[in-house]
């Protein structure tokens, strides 16, 4: 208490406190400050030691009884107004984050904001929080994308190193790079264009084969293959088979090659042709055990549609789309859940209001599910539709809710696709440069090895 008596000695100035905020000096009455004892200045009056005072201010002069604060002097004018009126106002030109930091420093609560500034403050805080959430989300996706890119590039470099010490390493590496990186050279681009052309020709041939005008029959009225379409089909399958076998032979690791999703698609695109040929060979005897071979052959022919997926090998966009769907399972799951709830609800409502109408086709739940599905997804075939007034009102609500539900996760999925597409382009570029560097290093190493071998041979020849 003795030190407190020195600090607060009895004089005419005992009722005032001297405050210096960044050079701005102000004399404040104790009664005014004590109106808010939980603030920094209010707690300062209750200090009984210099150490306690210095915990609340930056400096203290006992001779002048002045408390110094290294803070914004312009904002302190609003603090003075708060002690006089009990309300704090937003500062024009001051960031809302800095405003929050200042009022927290002086011990002022957000509930002391005046009504004229509270709505604006909440709006600014919402904007800051949403922006911060977007930045953190983008940063997390960027970190994930960078780590994935580093892992893929490391795997690519490991593949190049696996050629060392194997048979025909330089030749296999050169062929592998030309097949995997179309931008490596002009010959690599030509190979990629040839592969892409074969995929397009195969798809066109498959489409033409489904048209009745191109169907042919033999003298027994049995459907046979069109010779022209069969030629293009065999040519495409031969090219795909040769490409697959060549890539398998020159691959650095056959096991890793066969486990790749794109290579599995390549294998599935050619397997139906050979399995169909085997079935047709076994069906030559027309045995009773193979009566359903026709249906099996049709199913196998239908599997040729997997050739369309071969375009993913030559398209960064398709690979990015696959990565987006793989990493958007949460958004897609939410979309399916929302649609399922809406379809179940609106199908039950429309069946209830349309059940008494003889003209309506929405008489049971399965038909109601079909109608709700095509309505919420905005497809609207028009094969089933409500005819009563209440049914049309429910149909309108169903369509509007479908638009909102479908639009909710689309933004997140599109943003992920954009990021994965940029990442895939970056990976392709880095991989191309890495392959060129590794190829140049391999050639230099082989050259040095040959020169070393010649020198060793020369040292073994005796001098004449």
* 305 and 334 share one domain: no
What's the total number of domains in the chain?
3
Considering the domain architecture, whether residues 188 and 283 belong to the same structural domain is answered as yes
| CATH number assigned to the domain comprising residue 400 | 1.10.287.70
Instruction: Report CA Rg, the chain.
Output: 39
Say if 120 falls within a structural domain. Answer: no
* Whole-number Å distance between alpha carbons of 130 and 138: 12
Domain of residue 265 covers 169-314
Which of 70, 87, 113 marks a domain boundary? 113
Write the DSSP assignment of 348-387 as a string of letters.
Answer: HHHHHHHTT-SS-S--SHHHHHHHHHHHHTT---SSS---
Residue 61 Cα to chain centre, angstroms: 59
Q: Are strands 16-21 and 66-69 parallel, antiparallel or unpaired?
A: parallel
In whole angstroms, give the CA distance from residue 364 to residue 356.
Answer: 11
Measured distance CA(352)–CA(373) in Å, rounded: 17
Closest C-alpha among 444, 454, 451, 453 to residue 170: 444
pLDDT of 400: 92
In a shared domain, residues 69 and 40: yes
Are 107 and 14 in the same domain? yes
Which of 360, 376, 408 terminates a domain? The answer is 408
* CA–CA gap between residue 406 and residue 340 (Å, rounded): 12
Per-position pLDDT tens, the chain of length 464: 334 444 444 444 568 888 889 888 888 888 888 888 888 888 888 888 888 888 888 888 888 888 899 888 888 888 888 888 888 888 877 888 888 888 888 988 888 888 888 888 888 877 777 665 555 555 555 455 545 544 454 555 556 666 666 677 778 877 877 777 777 778 878 888 888 888 888 888 877 877 877 777 766 666 677 788 888 888 888 888 888 888 888 887 788 888 887 788 788 878 877 877 777 676 655 544 444 555 565 666 666 666 676 666 666 677 777 777 777 778 888 888 889 999 999 998 988 888 878 788 888 888 889 999 999 988 888 888 888 899 899 999 999 999 888 888 877 778 777 777 777 777 667 666 666 665 665 555 555 544 444 444 433 333 33
Structure tokens at 271: 């397997």
Confidence (pLDDT) at 463: 35
Q: Are 404 and 296 in contact (CB under 8 A)?
A: no
How confident is the model at residue 5, as a pLDDT?
41
Name every residue whose Cβ is closer than 8 Å to that of residue 252 and which is 6 or more positions away in sequence: 159, 160, 162, 163, 166, 172, 176
Instruction: Pull the structure tokens for residue 319.
Output: 């690979």
Whether residue 370 sits in one domain with residue 273: no
In a domain, 46, yes or no: yes
Q: Is there a contact between 344 and 366 (Cβ–Cβ < 8 Å)?
A: no
| Claim to verify: residue 216 and residue 297 sit in the same structural domain | yes
Residue 426 lies in a domain: no
Residue 451: per-residue pLDDT: 46
Pair 9, 60 in one domain: yes
Other CB atoms within a 10 A radius of the CB of residue 58 amount to 13
User: Are 306 and 285 spatial neighbours (Cβ–Cβ below 8 Å)?
Assistant: no
* Residue 364 resides in a domain: yes
Q: How much is the pLDDT for 66?
A: 86
């Amino acid at each position: 208490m003795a030190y407190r008596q020195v600090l607060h000695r009895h004089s005419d100035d005992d009722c005032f406190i001297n405050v210096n905020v960044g050079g701005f000096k102000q004399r404040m009455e104790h009664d005014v400050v004590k109106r808010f004892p939980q603030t920094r200045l209010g707690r300062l009056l209750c200090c009984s030691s210099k150490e306690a005072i210095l915990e609340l201010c930056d400096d203290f002069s006992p001779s002048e009884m002045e408390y110094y604060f290294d803070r914004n002097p312009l904002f302190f004018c609003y603090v003075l107004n708060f002690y006089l009126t009990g309300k704090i106002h937003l500062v024009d030109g001051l960031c809302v984050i800095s405003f929050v930091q200042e009022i927290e420093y002086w011990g002022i609560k957000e509930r002391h904001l005046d009504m004229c500034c509270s709505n604006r403050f909440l709006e600014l805080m919402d904007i800051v929080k949403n922006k911060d959430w977007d930045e953190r989300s983008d940063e997390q996706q960027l970190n994930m994308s960078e780590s994935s890119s580093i892992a893929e590039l490391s795997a690519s470099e490991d593949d190049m190193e696996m050629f060392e010490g194997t048979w025909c390493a330089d030749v296999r590496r050169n062929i592998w790079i030309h097949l995997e990186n179309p931008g490596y050279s002009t010959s690599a681009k030509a190979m990629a264009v040839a592969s892409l052309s074969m995929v397009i020709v195969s798809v066109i041939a498959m489409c033409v084969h489904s048209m009745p005008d191109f169907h042919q029959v033999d003298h027994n009225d049995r459907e046979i293959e069109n010779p022209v379409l069969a030629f293009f089909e065999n040519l495409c399958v031969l090219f795909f088979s040769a490409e697959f076998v060549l890539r398998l032979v020159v691959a650095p690791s056959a096991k890793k090659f066969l486990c790749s999703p794109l290579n599995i698609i390549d294998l599935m695109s050619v397997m139906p042709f050979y399995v169909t040929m085997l079935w047709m060979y076994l069906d030559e005897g027309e045995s009773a055990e193979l009566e359903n071979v026709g249906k099996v052959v049709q199913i196998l022919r239908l599997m040729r549609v997997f050739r369309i997926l071969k375009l993913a090998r030559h398209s960064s966009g398709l690979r990015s789309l696959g990565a987006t769907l793989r990493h958007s399972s949460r958004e897609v799951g939410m979309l399916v859940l929302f649609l399922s709830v809406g379809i179940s609800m609106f199908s039950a409502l429309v069946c209830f209001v349309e059940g008494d109408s003889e003209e309506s086709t929405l008489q049971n739940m399965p038909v109601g599910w079909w109608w709700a599905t095509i309505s919420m997804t905005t497809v609207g075939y028009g094969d089933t539709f409500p005819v009563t007034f209440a049914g049309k009102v429910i149909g309108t609500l169903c369509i509007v809710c479908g638009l909102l539900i479908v639009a909710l996760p689309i933004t997140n999925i599109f943003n992920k696709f954009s990021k994965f597409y940029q990442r895939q382009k970056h990976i392709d570029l880095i991989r191309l440069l890495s392959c060129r560097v590794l190829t140049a290093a391999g050639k230099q190493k082989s050259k040095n090895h040959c020169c070393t071998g010649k020198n060793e041979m020369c040292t073994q020849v005796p001098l004449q």
